[in-house]
Structures are given as C-alpha cells and as structure tokens.
A and B are shown apart, each in its own frame.
Chain A
C-alpha cells in the first residue's frame, strides 16, 4: 500500500515532489500506523482521504505550475469565505443530463417502433423520421441545452441575488444607529 502512495506522488510536478515528497512520505507513514491501530473502517477512510488528497493536490499543483495561480482545496474551501460569486448549480447539470438521456432514449424508442411497423400500404406507411437524423439532432439538443444554460447563468449573474458580498463588506462598528442598535 505504501508503494501506491509513492507511485501517486509521481503525479505531482517534479519540483513539488523533490521539495515535499520525503516529508509527505514521513507524515503518511505516521498517520498510516495510527490508522492501522484503529481498525478496518478507519483504514478504509484513511485511504480514501489520502488518495483523494493526492489526486486533487497533484491537479492543483499542475494548475498552479501552468497558470501561476493557487487553487484552494475543494473540500471545506467555501465554508468561511462567503465570496460574492455565482456558481452554476450542480443540480441543474444533473437535471440537464437526465433530460438529455430521456430525449435520446425517446428517439431510440421511436426508431424501434418505426422499424417494427411493416409497410402494408403505400398510403399508410411507417412513421417518417422527418428530415433530420440522430447525430445532428443530438448535437442540436446539446447546443440548445448549452445555450439555455449560458443564458440562465447570465440572467442570474446579472440579478446578483446572493447578497453575500454585502455581508462580506459589512463593518458593524461603523453601522450603529443613534439608538445603539445595529442597522444591517
């Protein structure tokens, strides 16, 4: 298992690995021996945490090397910051994916039904698939979905509804009313 940790360290840029690799390995050994004493569940959690930490850390290190910007850890990173920024909701992405999958399945089903109907009469033929085929339709749906997503993002960004930036800039020591109460 220790070999796996050493191998994952090679995902880091070489400069980072040379600077911190030995230290990280030493700390890892100490934490691992502690987790081993606490049972299988603790060991499993330890490994999940370490592998995730290494993968995310290596990715951030490479991004920093390329862009020169430090990217904070995704875990816990937003708890205390309260920045005035809008993030595209993950639920929307999930919903859009489900809708897309449903549309693709419906197209597949329609194609199957169309193929199952035998052309008995020239007047009552099978359902014609209009003038578009599967791939262009899929691209059209994807483009439409992306366009709607961007439009939604722009509208919400323009509305700037979070209000977090007002709280972040708020200084209660300068906002006292004549009665001594806070005016927020």
Chain B
C-alpha cells in the first residue's frame, strides 16, 4: 500500500483500531459512530480494506482468549500506528490551510 494518503474508509478503520483491538462488527459500528452515520460500510468493503491492511502490515490479527463466537479481532501494528499518525498530521496541515483560506475569503 502506498504510505499516504489513505482512503476515508481505511482511515476510519485505522482510527477505530487505534483505540483498542476490535472485530468486524465492532469496527462497522465504530466507523458509523465516528462519521455520525455518514459512512456505513458493507461487509465486502470492510473485509476488502482489512485484507489490504493485513497484506501491508498495518494491522494484525489479535487472538482473544474468548473466541467462542468465531469472531476474529484485529489491532494496529507499530507500522500502522506510525502511518496513521502521519496521515492525521497531513490532515491537520490541510485543515489548517483550509481554515486560513476560508477565513481570508470571508474577511
């Protein structure tokens, strides 16, 4: 995967896993909550993104003690967390420039 920038679903998945390891259903819920209902992913989209993140080493499988319901949890790797920080930093810069531009236009 190219390091930056990431797509919006991928960014939301990474943000969801930044807090704690989560399984698929919890990720879907968290993404919907973070985006205030604007982004609702299908299982196909979610697992396509998870597949890509696994392949690129941004996330890894997290083996829970209680795996009785057959659900697999995922968590960020060190590399994934570092890339997420870079992405957040990029977005901060972008929104700062955007704010200045918009403020300049309004005054």
Nearest chain B CB to A4 CB, angstrom units: 13
Cα distance A167–B96 when bound, in Å? 13
Cα distance A184–B105 when bound, in Å? 14
Per DSSP, chain B at the interface is: helix
B6 contacts A by Cβ under 8 Å: yes
Nearest chain A CB to B11 CB, angstrom units: 7
Interface pair B47/A184, CB less than 8 Å apart: no
Taking Cβ atoms with an 8 Å cutoff, the residues of B that contact A are 1, 5-11, 23-25, 28, 39-52, 55, 69-72, 91, 93-94, 96-97, 100-101
Interface pair A182/B7, CB less than 8 Å apart: no
- Chain B residues near A50 (CB-CB < 8 A): 42-44
- Chain A residues near B7 (CB-CB < 8 A): 72-73, 76-81
- Chain A residues near B47 (CB-CB < 8 A): 20, 23-24, 57
Interface pair B69/A79, CB less than 8 Å apart: no
Binds B, one of A26-34, A101-109, A133-141, A146-154: A26-34
Interface pair A20/B51, CB less than 8 Å apart: yes
Cα distance A184–B25 when bound, in Å? 43
Cα distance A35–B52 when bound, in Å? 27
A86 contacts B by Cβ under 8 Å: no
- Chain B residues near A79 (CB-CB < 8 A): 7-8
Cα distance A106–B85 when bound, in Å? 60
- Chain B residues near A182 (CB-CB < 8 A): 97, 100
Interface pair B42/A54, CB less than 8 Å apart: yes
Nearest chain B CB to A172 CB, angstrom units: 5
- Chain B residues near A53 (CB-CB < 8 A): 41-45
Cα distance A13–B80 when bound, in Å? 26
Interface pair A58/B101, CB less than 8 Å apart: no
Interface pair B43/A81, CB less than 8 Å apart: no
Closest 7 CB pairs of A and B: A53-B42, A53-B44, A57-B44, A27-B24, A54-B44, A76-B8, A57-B48
Interface pair B52/A27, CB less than 8 Å apart: no
